[in-house]
Amino acid sequence: MPLPPQVSPSEWILNVTEPDDEGDASDHHHGLIDAPFDGTSFPHELVYDSPVMKTLVRRARHVAALDFPVLIQGESGTGKDVLARMIHHASARQNHPFICVNCGAIPENLVEAELFGHEKGAFTGAVLARNGYIAEADKGTLFLDEIGELPLSTQVKLLRVIQEREVIAVGSVHPRKVDFRILAATNRDLLQEVSRGRFRNDLFHRLAVAVFTIPPLRERQEDLAALIQVFVSMINRDMLVHTGYKKRKLTDNARTLLLHHGWPGNIRELYNTLLRAILWSENNVVKSKDIQEAMFGIHIVPPATILGREFGRDFKLTDLLTQVADHYFEKALRESGGNKSLATRLLGLPNATTFSNWKRKYPWKKT
């Protein structure tokens, strides 16, 4: 079965406020336009319900109207490119080009030709003259994703372009005037990179006029439930083009497993996990085992393993409680250096007698 189409770069912004049980996100679009799909990347949506993201988006919309540089920081998969596009579409430049450049994806020997353009014959393989990304962004917005990957020599020239508002193509001596707004994003700590000599201090301060830091998904639990709801609804909608497909629903255990996952890959990992789980699920129900398989067995925190168990012939609550007690008794004694009194305090138990009673109630194989 082919994968469902996914959102194109002209994204739409969602503010989910009241997720429903059926996973229908249609009530939460708030009049914003649903974009066409092109199947090139994970959904370009900013779905949020947490106070920190509401504040961030409100400030981003305010900054969008001001033609200053913007630096967006955050881990991979948090939606830095989505925020950049939102700023562009909310700005006076919205009807002009939005040029997105992944600085980490360009070979070092071609970075300057790609950014600044080149003349015919400027280097081997340059059979035609070409405008660079900066010239293509004229009157619009240039978004440099993963700007921390740029070589220092290129950073110097980029700084000059930003300051002088003109670009000189590789192999040329004639400057060309350009009018663009620059947005940049990074998953690195650029101040630390500056201290290590890997990023220019002057370029950092030129870019860091307005700075936004998108928190990782693990730090905004309120958004996770909303994202799960919206993504399941989106995938269901897009999969309906396939004959015989039935809308999927998550079991409570599957949802619990998702809510307890650490999501080191952030929103991108969440979407792809849900997509895989739905593709692999049988009938119209996505169970916790489908989620576990879709996660490839990585980064699942212990509570999710316990809470994600399905009822069945082999299910025994006492076995699960024993596993939990076994884990924490061992951890407490290990961290206390074998001191039972300290271990008792670490476990939050009132006294050593209670400690012993717990061990009798849930036999602990480690002692």
pLDDT for 45: 60
Residue 101 pairs in a beta bridge with 144
Pairing of strands 141-145, 181-186: parallel
Domain residue limits, the chain? 51-217, 317-361
SS3 269: helix
Q: pLDDT tier at 57 (50, 70, 90 boundaries)? A: very high
Encode 67-82 in three state secondary structure.
Answer: CCCEEEECCCCCCHHH
Question: Is there a contact between 280 and 246 (Cβ–Cβ < 8 Å)?
Answer: no
Residue 201 — very low, low, confident or very high, per pLDDT cuts 50/70/90?
very high
Average pLDDT value over all residues in the chain:
81
Task: Read off the pLDDT of residues 257-292 as tens digits, 9 standing for 90 and up.
Answer: 999 888 988 999 999 999 999 988 888 999 998 998
Q: Which residue has the higher pLDDT, 168 or 326?
A: 168
Query: Which CATH number applies to 51-217: 1.10.1030.10, 1.10.10.10, 3.40.50.300, 1.20.1600.10?
Result: 3.40.50.300
pLDDT tens profile 304-349: 456 666 676 667 777 777 777 777 777 777 776 667 777 778 788 8
